[in-house]
């Protein structure tokens, strides 16, 4: 079997031989300086040079526009340096005081929208580790959770401290009520944390994109659920959420092989660790609105949230929609037309508005659904995403946090 696989791998991959002269091009292009850099612990950007260039360009353009007073109706604070504006919204969480927290995967920031609707840079943008959160470096923040006391947890993918050698697992950060950030969990098999959710007794659950789900008690002690894999298989758990009954829901994002079990489903785990599928067929696509969610095709589910009636909402990212599974198990589209775009920036019916790869979701106690909407930023990182907000009472969508505009530190 080993030889068969080896032969097949060569058959598949040898068709793209190493480009001629790559060695010399690579070595020549390394930007060396005349002196060796000292082995300081300053973190390095993990982005590609293209993304960094895009961020620089974005910051310069925004800075120029702002300095000319063209955005005075929207910006009331002095512009921040690079990283002060929303670029790629990811996770969303709502705190006990009603503040909305949004992570920015590419910019490495977390924003806070206070109950008055003012936006601040809450974490990231610096080079520090422990200490003030706005002076810390965040490496690809993904999921966010806020406990009842206001502690904010952030899943950080691929911890970027290069000085530790070649092991760069992700970690989970915690920010206290005084705005001080620290590493809450690291190691113990934690590789690439993605979704975060807190149960009714305050235990933090996390998904690890490598295929596991685990939990952390208030002291940071880590334990894994049911060994290395979950049955039924959840190869790539993404965002997670608890319903009011204590059931844990997981987005099963991507299948290993099309047609194989797993992927493009929402999986539920009861407190007794009984698993079931609540949406999706295991085949990615778009079908089934108006029918049973378990017979509907969904495509790369991401954020999950519940309203006060127990209806489940999830971001159907590759379908550019937010969909709902009601208490009878019937699935419908709540927002998005299926065409990626940003129409609906001004108040309009969510069913007519366009979304572009929505990721994180959260619902406030007063019935507003917040959506991290990449707004097609994935196709052009220089085009910032937005955070959209949907009034679930009347279905009207608008923009809660606009990308590309700098916000002050918290």
Partner 1 sequence: MLSAARAELVTRAGSGDRRAFDELVGPLIDQAFRLAYGMLHDRSAAEDAVQEAATRAWRKLGHLREGTEMRPWFLAIVANQCRNIARGKWWSVLRMDAMPTATAPDIGEQVATGADLRRALRHLSPEHREVLVLHYYLDLPLDEVARIAAVPLGTVKSRINRGVAALRSFLLPVEAMV
* Of residues 185-214, those binding partner 1 (CB under 8 A): 191-192, 209-211
286-345: contacts with partner 1 (CB under 8 A): 300, 317-318
- Give the range of 1-9, 110-118, 122-130, 303-311 binding partner 1 by CB under 8 A: 1-9
Distance of closest approach, residue 122 Cβ to partner 1, in angstroms: 21
Phi, psi values for residue 236, rounded to 5°: -140, 75
Closest CB 236 distance from partner 1, rounded Å: 6
Site for partner 1 in 141-180 (CB under 8 A): 157-158, 162-163, 165-169
10 binds partner 1 (CB under 8 A): yes
Q: Find all residues with CB under 8 Å of 202, minimum gap 6, and list them.
A: 147, 148, 218
Neighbours of 354 (CB within 10 A): 22
User: Is residue 332 a contact partner of residue 323, using CB atoms and an 8 Å limit?
Assistant: yes
Instruction: Please select the residue that binds partner 1; options are 29, 201, 274, 393, rule is CB under 8 A.
Output: 29
Scan residues 57-116 and list those touching partner 1 (CB under 8 A): 88, 105-106
Which of 78, 117, 217, 256 forms a contact with partner 1 (CB under 8 A)? 256
Nearer to partner 1, 134 or 137 (CB): 137
Is the Cβ of residue 281 or residue 311 nearer to partner 1 in the bound state? 281
Q: Looking at residue 230, what DSSP letter applies?
A: -
Smallest distance from the beta carbon of 21 to partner 1, in angstroms? 10
Query: Which of these segments, 64-72, 257-265, 271-279, 288-296, binds partner 1 (CB under 8 A)?
Result: 257-265
Find the binding residues for partner 1 in span 346-375 (CB under 8 A). Answer: 357, 359, 374
One residue of 85, 99, 134, 236 binding partner 1 per CB under 8 A: 236
Q: How far apart are CA 75 and CA 63, in angstroms?
A: 11
Q: Does 12 bind partner 1 (CB under 8 A)?
A: yes
Length of the chain: 410
360 contacts: CB under 8 Å, gap ≥ 6: 89, 90, 91, 92, 102, 103, 143, 144, 239, 302, 303, 315, 370, 371, 372
Choice between 12 and 274, CB closer to partner 1 = 12
CB of 322 to partner 1, least distance (A): 17
The dihedral formed by the CA atoms of 315, 321, 327 and 329, expressed in degrees to the nearest 10? -100
- Asked if 318 contacts 301 with a C-beta cutoff of 8 angstroms, the reply is no
350: part of which helix (H) or strand (E)? none
Sheet holding 100-104, edge to edge: 89-94, 100-104, 109-113, 119-124
Using a 10 angstrom Cβ sphere, with 0-12 exposed, 13-18 middle and 19 or more buried, the burial of residue 77 is: middle
Least distance from C-beta 126 to partner 1, angstroms? 20
* CB of 254 or CB of 277, closer to partner 1: 254
Task: Kindly tell me which residue out of 20, 38, 74, 346 binds partner 1, with binding defined by CB under 8 A.
Answer: 38
Residue 201 vs 257, nearer CB to partner 1: 257
Please say which residue, 142 or 389, places its beta carbon nearer to partner 1: 142
The DSSP code for 319 is G
Give the number of residues in contact with partner 1, rule: CB under 8 A: 75
For residue 324, give every residue at least 6 positions away whose Cβ sits within 8 Å of its Cβ, in sequence order, or none. 311, 312, 313, 331, 332, 333, 334
Please identify, using beta-carbon distances, which residue of 75 and 297 lies nearer to partner 1: 297
């Amino acid at each position: 079997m080993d030889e068969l696989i080896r032969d097949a791998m060569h058959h598949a991959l040898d068709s793209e031989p190493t480009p001629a002269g790559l060695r010399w091009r690579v070595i020549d292009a390394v930007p060396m300086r005349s002196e060796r850099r000292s082995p300081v612990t300053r973190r390095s950007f993990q982005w590609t040079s293209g993304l960094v260039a895009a961020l620089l360009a974005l910051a310069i353009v925004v800075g120029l526009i702002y300095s000319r007073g063209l955005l005075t109706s929207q910006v009331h604070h002095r512009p921040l340096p690079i990283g002060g504006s929303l670029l790629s919204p990811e996770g969303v969480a709502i705190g006990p005081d009603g503040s909305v927290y949004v992570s920015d995967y590419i910019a490495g920031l977390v924003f806070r929208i206070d109950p008055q609707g003012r936006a601040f840079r809450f974490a990231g943008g610096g080079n520090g580790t422990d200490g003030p959160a706005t002076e810390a470096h965040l490496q690809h923040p993904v999921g966010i959770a806020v406990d009842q006391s206001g502690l904010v947890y952030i899943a950080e993918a691929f911890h970027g401290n290069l000085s530790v050698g070649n092991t760069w697992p992700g970690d989970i950060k915690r920010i206290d009520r005084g705005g001080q950030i620290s590493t809450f969990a690291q190691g113990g098999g934690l590789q690439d944390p993605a979704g975060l959710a807190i149960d009714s007794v305050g235990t933090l659950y996390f998904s690890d994109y490598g295929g596991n789900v685990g939990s952390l008690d208030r002291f940071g002690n880590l334990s894994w659920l049911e060994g290395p894999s979950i049955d039924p298989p959840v190869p790539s758990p993404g965002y997670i959420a608890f319903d009011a009954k204590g059931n844990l829901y997981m987005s099963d994002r991507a299948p290993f092989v099309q047609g194989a079990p797993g992927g493009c489903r929402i999986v539920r785990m009861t407190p007794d660790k009984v698993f079931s599928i609540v949406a999706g067929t295991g085949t990615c696509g778009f079908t089934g609105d108006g029918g049973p969610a378990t017979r509907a095709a969904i495509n790369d589910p991401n954020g999950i949230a519940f309203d006060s009636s127990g209806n489940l909402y999830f971001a159907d990212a590759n379908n550019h929609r937010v969909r709902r599974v009601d208490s009878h198990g019937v699935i419908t589209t709540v927002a998005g037309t299926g065409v990626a775009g940003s129409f609906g920036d001004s108040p309009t019916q969510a069913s007519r508005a366009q979304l572009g790869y929505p990721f994180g979701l959260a619902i406030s106690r007063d019935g507003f659904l917040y959506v991290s909407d990449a707004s097609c930023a994935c196709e052009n990182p220089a085009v910032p995403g937005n955070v959209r907000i949907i009034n679930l009472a009347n279905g009207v969508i608008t923009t809660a946090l606009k990308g590309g505009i700098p916000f002050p530190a918290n």
